[in-house]
Amino acid sequence: MIIEPEKTSPCISHAANVVEQRNVRRNEFEIVLEAPEIANAALPGQFVMVVTGEGYGFEHRRPFSLFRADPETGRVSILYLARGIFTQDLAQKLPGDSVQLLGPLGTHFDTRADERIAIIASGGIGAPPLCFLARRLLEMPQPLRPERVIAICGARSSDYLVGVTELCSLGAEVDIVTDDGSEGAQGTVPEHLERLLKRYPEVTAAGVRVYGCGPMPMLLALTNVCERYGVTGQISIEAPMHCGVGQCDSCLIPVVGRDGKGPIRACVDGPVLPIGTYCWETPATP
Ligand SMILES: Cc1cc2nc3c(=O)[nH]c(=O)nc-3n(C[C@H](O)[C@H](O)[C@H](O)COP(=O)(O)OP(=O)(O)OC[C@H]3O[C@@H](n4cnc5c(N)ncnc54)[C@H](O)[C@@H]3O)c2cc1C
Ligand code: FES
């Protein structure tokens, strides 16, 4: 099935010129694109469908979170790991080339004015939307700006860590954890979150907010920790997405909401969901 995005979604579809292709670290790349309407409208947590080939067939498109969106320059960027066919193709794009972007899509992170500590918990390629969020949080004027923005960056090993360079340069306090201990502390992101929540007993649960993005098993464990400690927040879920605009059901997530409704579509009901609003019927893995 081929979906023409202009006919199925009110969001914007554009040819976006490549401004820069930057190798950040190992196989981590940032591609900067000229897309003024998206740059103007996008909020942290939203994503774009990127189309690199001819036409809009599902085989040519993938979802990517927005890493930057700057209304002043009209530019957006995507941070990605060059791994498989699509991302290696994306890494070949150079200034002068263009790709098609559809977006901004999906729900976004909300920031509460009263959080004293924002904890950003990222697993692997979950980092880019959280970097966008951290930038917005750290740019907030006082007294809205959180006193501390702590980032837990996790991955199965050092090679899969994403966003560390950016989060450090933004001024977040960065803790690295890897499953195999190849960089930072050995362990998982939810384990480290629990250690942090224990370490700051003076901060009431109402003063901490957790923002998570990463693989589903990590998000489920993270949600459990937050619920045990009475901490609120939001998670951004990863799911296979073919159309990105609620038309194909490839992103159905087996959850039941407090209102009894479910399942949900990650592309239009998410990707950002409040912690504690949904019950997972089965631990889903994308
Ligand atoms: C909301 C959202 C935001 C994301 N943001 C980022 C980001 O910021 N940075 C980043 O690096 N990655 C992000 N991803 C993942 C990204 O969309 C790609 O899935 C990933 O980069 C894999 O690319 P690849 O070149 O390794 O896969 P390929 O080698 O092209 O594909 C491998 C196989 O997996 C299938 N496949 C892979 N991904 C998807 C998908 N998403 N939907 C359906 N089928 C798929 C392909 O059909 C193929 O069979 C995001 C995913 C989602 C859902
Ligand atoms: S990706 Fe098609 S319905 Fe969500």
Domain count, the chain: 2
Q: Which of 84, 105, 126 finishes a domain?
A: 105
3 — pLDDT class (breaks 50, 70, 90):
very low
Q: What is the DSSP letter of 89?
A: H
> 270 in a domain, yes or no?
no
Mean pLDDT for 153-180 is: 95
3-state class (DSSP) for residue 17: strand
pLDDT tens sequence across 88-142:
999 999 999 999 999 999 999 998 767 889 999 999 999 999 999 999 999 988 8
Nearest Cα to 63, choosing from 262, 280, 222, 248? 248
Mean pLDDT for 4-11 is: 41
The CATH number covering residue 175 comes to 3.40.50.80
> 256 in a domain, yes or no?
no
Ligand 2 atom 3: residue of nearest CA: 246
Lowest mean pLDDT: which of 32-46, 190-204, 260-274?
A: 190-204
The CATH number covering residue 90 comes to 2.40.30.10
- Does residue 123 sit in the same domain as residue 101? no
* Residue 250 CB–ligand 2 contact under 6 Å: yes
CA pair distance 54, 83, nearest whole angstrom = 21
- Does residue 213 sit in the same domain as residue 152? yes
> 222 in a domain, yes or no?
yes
Is 219 exposed, middle or buried, given 0-12, 13-18 or 19+ CB atoms closer than 10 A?
buried
The Å distance, Cα 271 to ligand 1 centre, comes to 14
Q: Which of 82, 105, 128 finishes a domain?
A: 105
The Å distance, Cα 96 to ligand 2 centre, comes to 31
The Å distance, Cα 46 to ligand 1 centre, comes to 15
Q: What is the mean pLDDT of the chain?
A: 88
Which atom of ligand 2 is least distant from the CA of 240?
1
**Domain range for residue 47?**
5-105
- Does residue 86 sit in the same domain as residue 161? no
Which atom of ligand 1 is least distant from the CA of 67?
8
More confident residue, 275 or 258: 275
> 75 in a domain, yes or no?
yes
Q: Which ligand ends up closest to the CA of 269?
A: 2
CA pair distance 75, 32, nearest whole angstrom = 7
What is the distance, to the nearest Å, from the Cα of residue 5 to the centroid of all Cα atoms in its chain?
22
- Does residue 44 sit in the same domain as residue 16? yes
CA pair distance 225, 190, nearest whole angstrom = 7
Q: Which of 239, 263, 279 finishes a domain?
A: 239
Q: The pTM is what?
A: 0.91
Ligand 1 atom 35: residue of nearest CA: 240
Lowest mean pLDDT: which of 110-114, 130-134, 201-205, 277-281?
A: 201-205
> 98 in a domain, yes or no?
yes
Mean pLDDT for 137-157 is: 92
